[in-house]
Amino acid sequence: MNLNYRHLQYFWVVAKEGSVTRAAERLGVAVQTVSGQIGLLEKSLGRTLFAPQGRGLVLTEAGRVALGYADQIFLLGEQMSDALREDISEAPRLAVGISDALPKLVAYRLIDAALGLPMRPVCYEGKFENLLADLALHRLDVVLTDRPAGPMSNLRVFSHSLGEWDIMIYGSAMLAGRFRKGFPQSLDRAPMLLPTRNNALRGRLDQWFQSNSIRPDVVGEFEDSALLMTFGRTGLGLFPAPVALASDVAVHFDALSVGLIPGVQEHYYAISSERRIRHPGVEAILSVPRNLDSEAMESSDIMGNKITRGDGGRD
């Protein structure tokens, strides 16, 4: 069967408008023309795509399936037009979606793997679910996040683990000096800045606090990790961040290590869409070494202090 894309376009516009009359006005053609094109498409597919409802139309189950594919087809057409309008001397794009729960320094570390290639990263930040929807529609090449994609039957996406990074508690010089001694019991009643409860790391931290009979004084909760660390820089409270970012946290947020949380890791994932040919930038991100934590531990005295472990010992 050869698909007639003019018929598909008419179907797509009717599905968006919910009415043949409104679709005809948008397309600038007669109502009879639109109805005829839809009829031909249904005949070629052997499926009814619309059912009447009041004065309008609603999609059948087959219509909803067809609309999902039509969305992708016409979106790819728009992207092709945009790509051909771009200056061919420019490096190709790598469209990256960054979950708002992902530490920005982690995102930079991951994307940095692709910066050695001749390509131009274009980064978008947003909610996890919204980014996955954009990925499924090929508006993004990859999504970087702290959780894998769930079993969503309508989204053909695939999760690739980028490893587990150990978590450290950090704080301003004053707070680090105060709470490093006696860690981790020193965290009981300590002022703490934490991710909001919809963050995967928050659940692991809460469980660890509870199992160790520690009740921190939660003085702030943040969806955005960069904002959390910015507040931490002011000395408002201690805060968690990956060990692998120890030197970056010291430089950018003027914070020192307090102690390593044993058994608590941040999990990071790159989520890609189903494509026969992978984007070279995505391949570069997936090849990021998993041993960043060990490198950070080896250079832990960059802040002038050996890392305090949660078992009370020291390196």
CB 141 within 8 A of CB 281: yes
Class of domain 5-85: mainly alpha
74-131: per-residue pLDDT in tens?
Answer: 777 776 776 666 555 566 788 999 988 888 888 888 888 888 888 888 999 988 888 8
> Mind listing the pLDDT tens digit for each residue in 262-306?
999 988 899 988 654 477 888 888 887 655 554 444 444 434 444
**With a threshold of 0.75, does the pTM exceed it?**
no
pLDDT at 236: 96
Q: What is the pLDDT of residues 193-202, one digit of tens each?
A: 999 988 889 9
Burial annotation 198-224 (CB, 10 A radius, 16+ → b, else e)? ebebbebbeebbeeeebebeeeeebeb
Give the pLDDT confidence of 206-222 residue by residue, as tens digits: 999 999 999 999 999 99
pLDDT tens string 28-81: 899 999 999 999 999 999 999 998 888 778 899 999 999 888 887 877 777 677
Domain at 164-266+292-303, CATH class: alpha beta
Centroid of chain to Cα 66: 27
pLDDT of 276: 46
At residue 124, the pLDDT reads: 92
Encoded amino acid at 39, one letter: G
For 172-275, list the strands marked E by DSSP.
191-195, 217-222, 239-242, 256-273
Mean of all residue pLDDT scores within the chain: 83
Contact 203, 176 (CB under 8 A): no
Q: How far apart are CA 28 and CA 36, in angstroms?
A: 15
- Has residue 139 got a pLDDT over 70? yes
